A and B are shown apart, each in its own frame.
Chain A
């Protein structure tokens, strides 16, 4: 008998192995098709927009497209001395077209990002240009303002030639590419973003620590109390969890204001005098206090769900083997809660690092975080590509932590309520 005939066949004559594989494949496809609608939806409305954001953050075609002739003429310019007449003429023609289209303002803004002082000389050029005669544009442009004779401005113009640039990312960490093409830090008094990054990580870190210190005892209490008491106390954790973020922030604004209850209390117990009540809002204190209270439930819930599974007899065993309650706790109970600690801390840290609403409302100037800066550039300066770049830098950090979280905890173990 050959091996072929030994193969088990299904009723329709196909080898069982093959038939099973086929069925398995069909099931896989079925499961995948069920996930497909959501996956497609998210790809279109979420993944694609984030990709678009990435594109926007490096896209620098605006200036390139505004001055096509200039950049063509500049290709032969070595950037050492002032460019030739050819470049000046091309620039004149490009700029004339922009003035006719009334889009020169955008160019002025963009070039002013590159080098201060560009805006005024472009405006002056626009006024004087009407009287320009044909030919010898180099001399005529240079006659408009003495900065046009400064080669630095022409180099700055040339730096904007590439269609894509990573300069926004450099700006996000207070660096820039200087005239010689080297990447250097901006002057010390203008390093605003580094401060914000450090502050964001610092606030997220200390909020996580504070949440942990407060959540551990109450999660332990909730897990060890008899059901009927713990259910009641659980409401204290869940009610804030379900309450609107803005409501909770509003209540902190009332509590922390200078004539607020917390200050009243401090005066009453004589900690501070009535005249110099401390400012507890619109600074870092406000951010810390409000964020800790708002994120606390996210720490309590994972800790609680882990502690609930630890049998109380383990502690008793530890004690009966001669450990003091502290030793039993430290050597037996605490190590068992580490998965919960990891889950809670990572979750709180991830949420805290991207917080926007609360710092914006109670943080003032010294308590704002990187998210607020992103919103500021989206809404006020309208430098959207810079906002995108900062957003993506933050996103990279968050996704890195999320990856660790997924490895350690597994997203399918996230519990809600």
Chain B
């Protein structure tokens, strides 16, 4: 973004002002995440930078809160993490299967009422979570699935499928349907064609949709707040309770772990997106 030599001074000033604004916004976006790292290593119980930390005194830092997270007494995080992973895995599986199959139908050019059905399938993403939470809670209570893993998994499948539908239909939009016709003409049945031809080609889209569904479930708190009993507590529920009652540095330790997890997911998703674009022959 170097400016040409002939740029007039006031445009030059304007340009630097623009860059300054942009840096401020980027700072605003990313800086809050980095506050958590150092404070999670705080040796003291307060959530402010101690004088020792400002002097970079090694004694002011400790792994105390990480130990508390893992070995602490009456520690809720172990159970919460287990529940979160189990629920998120099953919810992802369900969302991916239902979402991918639906996306195959939606991207067929024979699909009737495509627009309206797509809008309906995406709606759980748009409807405020509190409303979904209330509605699903009434339903699950009625069928006796409130406070069970099954109930939460079903609710999370509802919330996760829109992401799978969006990513997979996007991937399929550049899909060359003549390859499936070729497979069919060579005597392959539709299921075999899907497993051997279509799926490998759209796999990046499916996985990235799955990642979205995973994150949605793993991070979801509103619906679980209504549905969960004591045995179904998840990481977000524990964080929510902790943030409401007492902000302890243990929460920051958990938050740090979550940031690392989301970084890993981000990198995977980005790599997949590029791969998917390469496969589809989109060069940007």
Interface residues of A (CB under 8 A from B): 24, 27-28, 30-39, 41-42, 45-46, 48-50, 52-53, 56, 214-215, 217-218, 221, 224-225, 233, 235-240, 242-255, 257, 259-261, 293, 296-297, 308, 325, 350, 353-357, 360-361, 371, 374-375, 378, 384, 387-388, 391-392, 394-395, 398-399, 402, 406, 410-412, 414-417
B94-136: CB near A (< 8 Å → 1, else 0) gives: 0000110110111010111001011111111011111110111
Collect the chain B residues with CB atoms within 8 Å of residue A296's CB.
25, 28-29
Collect the chain A residues with CB atoms within 8 Å of residue B155's CB.
45
Q: Whole-angstrom distance between the alpha carbons of A28 and B134 in the complex?
A: 36
Task: Specify the chain A residue showing the minimal Cβ separation from B252.
Answer: A250
Q: In the bound complex, do residue B128 and residue A34 qualify as a contact, i.e. CB atoms below 8 Å apart?
A: no
Rounded to whole Å, the gap between the CB of B234 and the closest CB of chain A is: 11
Collect the chain B residues with CB atoms within 8 Å of residue A30's CB.
105, 108, 110
Q: In the bound complex, do residue B134 and residue A250 qualify as a contact, i.e. CB atoms below 8 Å apart?
A: no
Q: In the bound complex, do residue A46 and residue B251 qualify as a contact, i.e. CB atoms below 8 Å apart?
A: no
Q: Whole-angstrom distance between the alpha carbons of A297 and B262 in the complex?
A: 15
Collect the chain B residues with CB atoms within 8 Å of residue A225's CB.
1
Residue B279 CB within 8 A of the other chain = no
Residue B166 CB within 8 A of the other chain = yes
Q: In the bound complex, do residue B105 and residue A31 qualify as a contact, i.e. CB atoms below 8 Å apart?
A: yes
Residue B201 CB within 8 A of the other chain = no
Q: Whole-angstrom distance between the alpha carbons of A406 and B236 in the complex?
A: 32
Task: Specify the chain B residue showing the minimal Cβ separation from A248.
Answer: B32
Rounded to whole Å, the gap between the CB of B271 and the closest CB of chain A is: 12
B243-260: CB near A (< 8 Å → 1, else 0) gives: 110010001100100110
Collect the chain A residues with CB atoms within 8 Å of residue B32's CB.
240, 248, 251-252, 255, 293
Collect the chain B residues with CB atoms within 8 Å of residue A235's CB.
266
Q: Which 4 A-B pairs have the closest CB atoms?
A: A354-B128, A34-B105, A49-B139, A27-B110
Q: In the bound complex, do residue A410 and residue B284 qualify as a contact, i.e. CB atoms below 8 Å apart?
A: no
Question: Among B58-66, B69-77, B157-165, B178-186, which stretch is in contact with chain A?
Answer: B157-165
Contacts A35-B117, A354-B128 known; 10 new A-B pairs at CB < 8 A: A30-B110, A45-B136, A45-B139, A45-B154, A218-B22, A237-B29, A296-B25, A378-B134, A395-B131, A417-B270
Q: In the bound complex, do residue B36 and residue A251 qualify as a contact, i.e. CB atoms below 8 Å apart?
A: yes
Rounded to whole Å, the gap between the CB of B177 and the closest CB of chain A is: 12
B193-235: CB near A (< 8 Å → 1, else 0) gives: 0000000000000001000100100110110011000000000
Q: Whole-angstrom distance between the alpha carbons of A376 and B105 in the complex?
A: 41
Q: In the bound complex, do residue A242 and residue B269 qualify as a contact, i.e. CB atoms below 8 Å apart?
A: yes
Q: In the bound complex, do residue A246 and residue B48 qualify as a contact, i.e. CB atoms below 8 Å apart?
A: no
Q: Whole-angstrom distance between the alpha carbons of A239 and B158 in the complex?
A: 25
Collect the chain B residues with CB atoms within 8 Å of residue A45's CB.
136, 139, 154-155, 157-158
Collect the chain B residues with CB atoms within 8 Å of residue A246's CB.
219, 221, 236, 239-240, 243, 255
Given known A-B contacts A45-B136, A238-B270, A250-B247, A39 and B117 have beta carbons under 8 A apart: yes
Rounded to whole Å, the gap between the CB of B255 and the closest CB of chain A is: 4
Q: In the bound complex, do residue B102 and residue A39 qualify as a contact, i.e. CB atoms below 8 Å apart?
A: yes
Collect the chain A residues with CB atoms within 8 Å of residue B135's CB.
46, 49-50, 52-53, 391
Q: Whole-angstrom distance between the alpha carbons of A395 and B149 in the complex?
A: 27
Q: In the bound complex, do residue B47 and residue A257 qualify as a contact, i.e. CB atoms below 8 Å apart?
A: yes
Q: In the bound complex, do residue A242 and residue B266 qualify as a contact, i.e. CB atoms below 8 Å apart?
A: yes
Contact of B236 among A37, A244, A378 (CB under 8 A): A244
Given known A-B contacts A46-B135, A243-B262, A416 and B166 have beta carbons under 8 A apart: yes
Residue B87 CB within 8 A of the other chain = no
Q: In the bound complex, do residue A35 and residue B243 qualify as a contact, i.e. CB atoms below 8 Å apart?
A: no
Q: Whole-angstrom distance between the alpha carbons of A293 and B135 in the complex?
A: 29
Q: Whole-angstrom distance between the alpha carbons of A73 and B28 in the complex?
A: 68
Contact of B35 among A32, A39, A46, A254 (CB under 8 A): A254
Q: In the bound complex, do residue A417 and residue B255 qualify as a contact, i.e. CB atoms below 8 Å apart?
A: no
Contact of B29 among A244, A257, A293, A392 (CB under 8 A): A293
Q: Whole-angstrom distance between the alpha carbons of A292 and B211 in the complex?
A: 25
Q: In the bound complex, do residue B102 and residue A411 qualify as a contact, i.e. CB atoms below 8 Å apart?
A: no
